[in-house]
Amino acid sequence: MSSSPRPPEPRKRARELGLTFGSRPTGPHNAITDVPGVRVGQVTVWHGDGTEPIARTGVTAIVLDDPAALFARPMAAASAVLNGAGELTGAITIAEWGTLETPIMLTGTSSVGRVYDGAVDELYAAGADAVVIPVVGECDDSHLDEFRRRWVTAAHAREAIAKATTGPVAEGAIGAGSGMVTMGFKAGIGTASRHIPDFGTVGVLLLCNFGSRADLRISGRHIGPQLLEPTPATTTPPGGSCIGIVCTDIALDARQLRRVATRVGLGLARCGAVAHHGSGDIFCAVSTTNRRPRRAEGLASTELLGDGSIDAVFASVVDATEEAVCNSLFVADTVAGVDGTVIPGLPVDRVLQLLASNS
């Protein structure tokens, strides 16, 4: 296979261009990695230029602890479904036990099985001493990727886990986001965070692949209809999917985390999402606190945030989700893929003009 074109260079994030989302401060990197201990690793599988088989896909791993340590001492977790035309493996176990015990993996729909295999391999190599049920979420990247070839391998999944780091998180057309489309424009990975004084930090990471261009809203402005002029893009149907991951170091239990996960849908709606018939909008929320051994017995006391204070967490999730969607759109640039399809990057200058106008 000949040398491959590289993904487009990233553009500026929404906040760097003057947009704001709510009043609460962000963490230092405005990313899910602002939650202590949370790391993100990404592997992009990208090759072909139209004369060869085209890969526009990859893997993104959210790693909350050393895999063996997380398996031995799981974290409280819960999932929520806005629209179920998608997959998050391990969600039934999360619902039953209220815990997460593996990294969270994201990829294209056709690669779920291979990423699942890679996560299992990684856990067994790390010393997991029981059956492993990994958490793998997917979105459909077939608009740009030759998905039948299933480029992603178990080795790519293990590499994404091994590469996971703290600090800034690359967004847009990278990792699992390489082939994703949102609101008719190129998108992919997006992330943001909020700090709640006296409580802790809330971080959101999204795999964005949803919506219709006509519905696009940014900063409360319905600008989609004004972006419908002819473009080089091949029309993509509404639908797609969004996997939303929330991490926090605030002490919450599974009941509270289910409510937190549900609020991701409100942030998507601010950007124009309506959970189309074919959209798999599935969310997972995890608290890094109050961990207990996997086989713990007997009584245990747990300190939790009172429900009377949880509105600050809800609002932070909604604001961070809205910003993460915008980051995904603002950072990604035009990408050419399979069958001559070209998905344009968001016309950022035009968007900023529309937001600045009074019309």
How far CA 43 is from CA of 64, 137, 162, 248, in Å, comes to 18, 15, 10, 24
**Owner of token pair 């106008």:** 357
pLDDT, position 236: 58
For the chain, the straight-line distance linking the first and the last C-alpha, in angstroms and rounded, comes to 51
Please, how many CA atoms are within 13 Å of residue 293, restricted to the half-sphere of its CB? Answer: 5
- Look at residue 10 and tell me if it is in a domain: no
Spatial separation of the C-alpha atoms in residues 267 and 335, rounded to whole Å: 26
Catalytic residue among 279, 287, 316, 328: 279
- What does pTM read for this prediction? 0.96
pLDDT, position 230: 62
Model confidence pLDDT, tens digit, residues 142-192: 999 999 999 999 999 999 999 999 999 999 999 999 999 999 999 999 999
- Look at residue 6 and tell me if it is in a domain: no
What Rg value do the Cα atoms of the chain yield, rounded? 19
From 237-241, 299-303, 304-308, the region with the lowest mean pLDDT: 237-241
- Give helix then strand counts, H and E, for the chain: 8, 16
Catalytic residue among 79, 111, 142, 241: 241
In a 3-state reduction of DSSP, which class is residue 248? strand
User: Is pLDDT of 265 > 90?
Assistant: yes
In a 3-state reduction of DSSP, which class is residue 53? coil
User: Is pLDDT of 10 > 90?
Assistant: no
Which letter does DSSP use for residue 165 in this model?
A: B
- Look at residue 16 and tell me if it is in a domain: no
- Average pLDDT over the chain, rounded to whole? 94
- Look at residue 7 and tell me if it is in a domain: no
Query: Domain total for the chain?
Result: 1
Average pLDDT over residues 298-311: 94
User: Is pLDDT of 244 > 80?
Assistant: yes
Domain of 255?
31-292+311-349
- Look at residue 123 and tell me if it is in a domain: yes
How far CA 216 is from CA of 111, 236, 265, 289, in Å, comes to 29, 14, 15, 36
- Look at residue 322 and tell me if it is in a domain: yes
Catalytic residue among 215, 281, 319, 333: 281
Contact (CB, 8 A) for 39 and 17: no
Model confidence pLDDT, tens digit, residues 107-140: 999 999 999 999 999 999 999 999 999 999 999 9
User: Is pLDDT of 359 > 80?
Assistant: no
User: Is pLDDT of 300 > 90?
Assistant: no
pLDDT, position 238: 58
Q: Is 281 a catalytic residue?
A: yes
Q: Which residues contact 154 (CB under 8 A, 6 or more apart)?
A: 114, 115, 117, 118, 121
pLDDT, position 293: 93
Find the CATH number of the domain harbouring 216.
Answer: 3.60.70.12
- Look at residue 4 and tell me if it is in a domain: no
- Look at residue 26 and tell me if it is in a domain: no
Model confidence pLDDT, tens digit, residues 202-232: 999 999 999 999 999 999 999 999 998 665 4
Residue 4's pLDDT band, with cuts at 50, 70 and 90, is very low
